[in-house]
Structure 1
Amino acid sequence: MFTADKAENDSPWHAGEIALQETAGVAERMSEIGQRVLRDHLIDQHRDFYPQLPFIVLGSVDATGDAWATLRAARPGFLHSPDIHTLSLDLTRDPADPADAGMEDGSAIGMLGIELHTRRRNRLNGTISRHGDNGFEVNVDQAFGNCPRYIQLRDFTFVRDPSERTDQLALHLTELDTRAKEMIAGADTFFVASYVDREGGQRQVDVSHRGGKAGFVRVGGDGVLTVPDFAGNLFFNTLGNFVLNPKAGLVFADFDRGELLQLTGEAKVVLDSPEIASFQGAERLWRFTPHRIIRRPGALPLRWKFHENGWSPSSLMTGSWDAASDGADGDQKQL
C-alpha cells in the first residue's frame, strides 16, 4: 500500500492524484499533459458552451465539512461568462438543496457542464463571489474538457417554469429506503463531489460524472455502495481526492420523474480485489458509505427522454454485478 506523501511542488496535480497516476504507470506523461490541459480560464469554446445548458452539476462543502453534489436547472442562458476568468450563475438560493449551504461568498465550488444530448462536457473548479441571493460568480481556478465516454444520450424538456419550486417535501433519511434503492439500482448515471485542501491551504472541490450499464452501482446489505472505476482520462481527480480526504457527495437523478437522491458520506478506493477482474471493464473499485441521505421528489423542472440508440458504446462494454463474485468482499486492499 502506498502513502500519498509526494510533494506537489509546481505540479498541476495534487499528491493524491499523483499517487494514483504512479500506480497506473502514467505519472510522468500526466505531468506534461496536466501542464497543457488544466487552465486557469475558460477558452472561447467553453464560454460559448455554458449558455446552451439547461442545468449544471455542482459540488460544494457545507459548514460541517460534508461534501454534496446537486443538479440545478434554469432556462439556457442562466450560465454566462463575462470574461475568461469568470462564470456567472443566475440561480436563486434553494434551502431544500443541502448543497446550497456550501455556496456562500468565498466558498470553493466544483462545476460540471454536461450536455446529455451531445455528450459534451467541461469541468471547472473555483471560488464563489456572491453579492446576493439571486446568483453568484465563480472565479476559475482550473478548467478542463472531458472525454464523452460512458455518457448516455438524452433529450431534455421543461415540465414547469424552472423558477417554480416543487410542492413535494424533501425526505431526510437515516438509511436508504426502498425508493432510494430503486433509483440506484436503475441508474446508468450519477455524479460525485469530492474535495481536498491543498498544501497552500486552498480548498479544491471537484464534481464529476459516472456512467455505465443500468445497475452498475451495487447496494450492499449494509447500505454501502460499490462502484467500478472504468478506464478514463487518467486524471484521477475524484479518486485522488478520496486518497487524501474520504469525504464524498453523490447525486442520482430519476430522469423520467425529476427526482433527486443526494447522499453524503465517506469513500474508499479499492485497488486490489477479485471483484475487479470479475466486473468487465473495471480497473479498480471504490466504496461509499452514506452518513446523510436526502430524497427530493420532483426537485427538477426537467425531464429527459433516452435516445433510441442512446447507450454509450463504452458503457455497453462494461459488465454487471450479477457476474461478479459475491464472496470477494473480504479480500481487498483499500486506500
Structure 2
Amino acid sequence: MSPYHRGELAAQERAGVLDEAARVSVLIGAELPRVARAFLAEQPMLVIGATDGAGDVWATMLTGEPGFITATGPSTVEIAAAPAAGDPLRPILSGPARVGMIVIEPGTRRRVRLNGTARPTADGLRIDLTQAYANCPKYIQKRSPRRVATTPGEPRVGPELSAEEVGFASVADTFFVATADLDGNADASHRGGNPGFLRALSPTRLRWPDYDGNSMFNTFGNLEVNPRAGLLLPDWTTGTLLHVTGTAVVDWDPRHAATVPGAQRLVDFTVTRVVRTTGATPLHWSTPELSRFNPPVPAAPGAALS
C-alpha cells in the first residue's frame, strides 16, 4: 500500500516523478531506526506544525537541552517541552492533535521528518508516530548553536507583516512550512536558499522558488487538497520567532519558474495572520555557512528582528 495520499500522488504526477516517488517511498515507515533514535537524543530543537480549530495551520519551534527528545519506543517519541504562552500552537497542543515535525541538525545538515498524533504529558508531549523518514541535506545552512538566557516578550499579533518583518523575510535563508491534508494529518518541512530566495512582495504576499527535492511532494500534495499553510521564520541571531499563517498556491507554469534561478515551480503565499515573539527561544546560532546547492539570488536589503 502506498504511503502517499491522493494529493501527494496528484502532485507527483504533475511533476512527472511518480516512478521516483514510488522508489523512495520505501524510506517511509512507522518505526524509528536505531540511528534515528540516537540522532533525536542529540538535538536541541525541533519544528512542529498542526491545524487549529479554525482550520489555520501553524508551525513553531520547541527547544531544550540534548535529550529533551526521546524515542521511548519504535513508534513513540516524548518531548520535554511545550509551546510557551502566546505561541499559536499552545492551545492546539493542550489536547490531542495530529502533528508534523522536522528535526534538523544544522551543524551536520541532517534531518528527520516525523508525523503522528501528539498528546500532552506532565513534561510536554508524547507523539505516537505514523510516519518517520530521513530527508536529503540540500539547502540546509550550516550553523552551530549556543544557549543564551532569555525571557520571551509579549507576542505581536496582526493581520499582516510589519515593515520590519517584510525586511527580515526578504533576507531569510531558512524557513519552515507546515501543511495538512483534509483530515488534518500534518506535515512540517524545511525550505532553504541564499538570502533573498524568499520574496516579500507586500505585507500580505510572499513568494518562494521550489528547488529540486526528494520527489515525495508531501507539502505540495497537502496543498493540492488544502491550501492552508503555516510558516515559521526563525531569527537565528536573536531567538525571535515569526509565525505566519495563510494560504499557499503552487504555480506549476514552467515559464514563470524559468525566471528564477534553480526554480522548478513557484509558491505564492497569502498572509492572513502573524504572531511574532521576541526572545522566544534561548538558542542563538552562528553565522551560517550557506549550502553549496543553493541557487543564486539577487541581493536584497533587510535586517534582523529585535
User: Where on the TM-score scale, by shorter chain, does this alignment land: which range?
Assistant: over 0.9
Deviations 1:205-255 (A, max 9, x none): 000100001011111136210110000001111111111100100010111
Q: Displaced runs of 4+ in structure 1, greater than 4 A?
A: none
Q: Distance in 1 between matches of 2:83 and 2:170?
A: 31
Which of 6, 10, 22 in structure 2 is aligned with 1:15?
A: 6
| Counterpart selection for 1:172 from 132, 154, 157 | 157
**Equivalent in the alignment of 2:42:** 52
Q: Which residue of 191, 196, 215 corresponds with 2:196?
A: 215
Aligned equivalents of 1:222 and 1:274: distance in 2?
26
CA distance, structure 2, for counterparts of residue 94 and residue 271 of structure 1: 38
Cα deviation per residue 1:292-314 (whole Å; 9 max; x = unaligned)? 1011111111100025xx11011
Amino acid at match of 2:9: I
Match in the other structure for 1:31: 22
Q: Does the CA-based 8 Å contact 2:210-2:265 persist in structure 1?
A: yes
Give the deviation of 1:136 after TM superposition: 1.5
Q: Aligned partners of 1:150, 1:239: CA distance in 2, in Å?
A: 18
Describe the superposition over 1:105-150 as per-residue Cα deviations: whole angstroms up to 9, x where unpaired.
Answer: 3210111110011101000100013234x31210010001000000
In structure 1, what is the equivalent of residue 234 of structure 2?
Answer: 253
1:63 and 2:53 matched: yes
CA distance in 2, matches of 1:21, 1:318: 26
Q: Measure, in 2, the Cα distance between the counterparts of 1:23 and 1:181.
A: 32
Amino acid at match of 1:205: A
Alpha-carbon distance between aligned partners in 2 of 1:93 and 1:176, rounded to the nearest angstrom: 22
Equivalence for 2:81: 91
Question: What letter is aligned with 1:33?
Answer: V
Which amino acid is 2:230 matched to? G
2:219 pairs with 1:241? no
Identity of aligned residues (%): 37
Give the 3-state SS of the residue equivalent to 2:37 in structure 1: helix
Q: Check the 8 A contact 2:162/2:203 in 1, yes or no.
A: no
Distance 2:133 2:48 in 1: 15
Match of 1:109 among 72, 75, 99: 99
* Structure ranking higher on relative contact order (CA contacts 8 Å, 6+ apart): 2
TM-score (norm 1): 0.86
Which of the two has higher C-alpha Rg? 1
Equivalents in 2 of 1:105, 1:174: separation in Å? 26
Q: Is the 8 A contact 2:93 2:119 kept in 1?
A: no
Query: Counterparts of 1:254-273 in structure 2 under 5 Å?
Result: 254-272=235-253
Pairwise CA distance, 1:186: 1.5
Range moving further from structure 2, 86-95 or 223-232: 86-95
Q: Which residue of 1 aligns with 2:209?
A: 228
Contact 1:183–1:252 (Cα < 8 Å) also in 2: no
Residues 21-45 of structure 1, C-alpha deviations (whole Å, 9 max, x = no match): 11222213322431x1110111111
Matches within 5 A, 1:299-314: 299-307=280-288, 310-314=289-293
Report if the CA contact (8 A) 2:230-2:244 is conserved: yes
- In the alignment, which residue of structure 2 is the partner of 1:190? 175
Q: 1:220 to 1:321 in 2, by over 3 A?
A: farther
Change (3 A) 1:302 1:313: same
Whole-Å separation in 1 of the counterparts to 2:203 and 2:160: 10
Amino acid at match of 1:241: N
Normalised by the size of structure 2, how large is the TM-score?
0.94
Q: Secondary structure at the match of 1:285?
A: strand
CA distance in structure 2 between the partners assigned to 1:224 and 1:61 by the alignment = 21
Aligned counterparts of 2:121 and 2:233: Cα–Cα separation in 1: 30
**Deviation readout 1:273-294 (Å, 9 max, x if unpaired):** 6331011100001111010101
Distance in 2 (CA, whole Å) between partners of 1:171 and 1:103 is: 20
Q: Gapped runs of 5+ residues in structure 2?
A: 301-306
